[in-house]
Structure 1
């Protein structure tokens, strides 16, 4: 009776191991956020000091963006902390979606920094001013690039390893900050040649660059909110199921991200002469192979349909609902 009851419920696989893996992913994410927060805050503080005595609006835009990038660690840290909570009867899939909400906050912060940097650049175009301490301004630009590029590589690498779209979006944000920091060198060079208008023009170019990363980050988060996955993952899942002994055909395959873990719901077709226990064994085997061979998959629900030569429709009762 126990075995038959288990056959009618979603199959589980090494739940303790999967919980440990999820906690480890969140811990890695928190570690990345803490280290990158320190690096970017230090970089932005150095730049802020130079902005104060140089008056460079291009460097001001870069500094503001670095501060904004450092602050995006806050919603992500909250999301990773929430994601460690166990599922409840209300939140039956857990709290992994908090990362998607954090992604929305990150996109909003990027948009706000772009708007402010653009405003300051336009204001300086209308009322040009000389930039002082050009050597320090150039040095601040280089420091901004090095700090941001290091953080970007770190965030993107770990974000992809743990499957966090929000962390990858934050890494892309930092990468653009690095290239905009290099643009500050153009501002300092133009001012040194006697072109004070170069500073606000570079400020506007920085704003445009921020808008491009805004587009990429928004697309990344939009895909997660709409349960989009890489079609190659669906193809891979179908191949794994097709090669599973006992599986005659593969029906629908649905995948979705919950935080930085994948969940799957799949339909397979098995021989109609199999007993309930035998069909259950095929379903368990299919789930086992999916979890082991599909990256970032934490759980799968496998539904087995009987296949036969009599042409019987085993879903007649559900036809009207489909």
Structure 2
């Protein structure tokens, strides 16, 4: 059999290899966060200065959003740093789930920026004020768009490459920020044409855009907290297992995200007359193929059940126990 080589050859994907890959992913995430934080913070500071002497509430909303987007790098950075720590006897799966907790903090920050931007826009509608230095306001909106779009592309690309839902969500957040920055140009244009109400109206539209980002980010984080995975990943894992030499059948397949890496728990069936060593070799080969062919999968627990003879029930005792506990 092809898996027979594993009887005498050690499995090449040891825990050190997997740990090195996970650490490299976290390092890339930290680099992305550091650079994007610097760019967004600089963008927000420039906009804040212009807000101070222009009085534009639309630009204020965009500035608040950019500050919030920069701040989201802080909890994510802490999460990536924690994710680099080794598993312990208490946290046996490591600290990867800190990314999901960071996602919750990001959702709260986005929500706070939406509330503050909406409040300021409504206040300006009730008490209109002249917007000054419209050229500077328009320029600040353009700067905000360019900064956010660059950060968005960077975060989304790296987030997808390393499998970080929180980083991808943060990138989508930055992209929406870019379009809200362009909306500032509309507010400045409306004010220049003699419609000062355009500025707070654009501020309200920006608030709506932030709320839409909030909904999408909250849904993404909810899926991770509930251990949701793309069903296509399950299909792929089942195909890999069914094509592994020595596997006679595939039982339950479970996948879950631990931070930005996947872990699997799978059940396979092997010939009932194989020795323990031979059955283990099939299981090792199955894990080997899963790690190679399923993106971002770092480890798999493979349980081998005997296949045959006919009418044999190797789980009779467990089945009776389950029936008793669920009755």
Common topology (TM > 0.5):
yes
Alignment partners' CA distance in 2, 1:223 and 1:172 = 16
| 3-state SS of paired residue (1:156) | helix
1:228, 1:242 → 2: CA distance?
A: 23
Q: Tell me the equivalent position of 2:188.
A: 188
1:64 alignment partner in structure 2 = 64
RMSD, aligned CA: 1.2
What does residue 45 of structure 2 align with?
A: 45
Aligned mates of 2:85, 2:187 — CA distance in 1: 48
Moved more, 304-313 or 235-244: 304-313
3-state SS in 1 of match to 2:263: strand
Paired residue for 1:117?
Answer: 117
Mean Cα displacement is larger for which, 304-313 or 174-183? 304-313
The residue aligned with 2:32 is 32
Where does 1:148-187 land on structure 2 (aligned, <5 Å)? Answer: 148-187=148-187
CA distance in 2 between partners of 1:46 and 1:284 (Å): 56
Question: Which residue number corresponds to residue 267 of structure 2?
Answer: 267
TM-score, L = length of structure 1: 0.96
Q: Does 1:135 align with 2:135?
A: yes
Q: Which ranges of structure 2 fall in alignment gaps of 5 or more residues?
A: 1-6, 323-327
The residue that corresponds to 1:3 in the other structure is none
Aligned to 2:309: 309
Give the whole-Å Cα distance in 2 for the aligned partners of 1:74 and 1:194.
41
| Aligned 8 A contact 1:13 1:299 in 2 | no
Give the whole-Å Cα distance in 1 for the aligned partners of 2:253 and 2:59: 50
State the secondary structure of the residue aligned to 2:298.
Answer: strand
Offset of 1:321 from its aligned partner?
Answer: 3.7
The 5-angstrom pairing of residues 214-293 of structure 1 reads: 214-293=214-293
Distance in 2, Cα, partners of 1:137 & 1:193: 14
Secondary structure at the aligned position of 2:229 is classed as coil
Deviation, structure 1 residue 15: 1.2
User: Which residue number corresponds to residue 99 of structure 1?
Assistant: 99
1:80 aligns with 2:80: yes
**1:4 match:** none
Native 8 Å contact 1:64 1:113 kept in 2: yes
Q: Secondary structure at the match of 1:312?
A: coil
Deviation at 1:320, TM superposition (A): 3.0
Query: What secondary structure, in the 3-state scheme, does the structure 1 residue paired with 2:96 have?
Result: coil
* Native 8 Å contact 1:128 1:196 kept in 2: yes
For 1:181-212, what per-residue CA distance to the aligned partner results, in whole angstroms no more than 9, with x for missing partners?
Answer: 00000100000011010000000000001111
Q: In the aligned structure 2, how far is the partner of 1:45 from the partner of 1:285?
A: 55
TM superposition shift of 1:312: 1.1
**CA shift at 1:12, angstroms?**
9.1
State the TM-score, normalized to the length of structure 2.
Answer: 0.94
Which 5+ residue runs of structure 1 have no aligned equivalent?
A: 1-6
- Residue correspondences, number: 313
CA deviation vs aligned residue, 1:144-163 (integer Å, no higher than 9, x gap): 00000000000011011111
Which segment is superposed worse, 312-321 or 34-43? 312-321
Residue-by-residue CA offset, 1:110-152 (whole Å, 9 max, x unaligned): 0110011001001111111110000000000000000000000
| Cα separation, 1, equivalents of 2:320 and 2:17 | 41
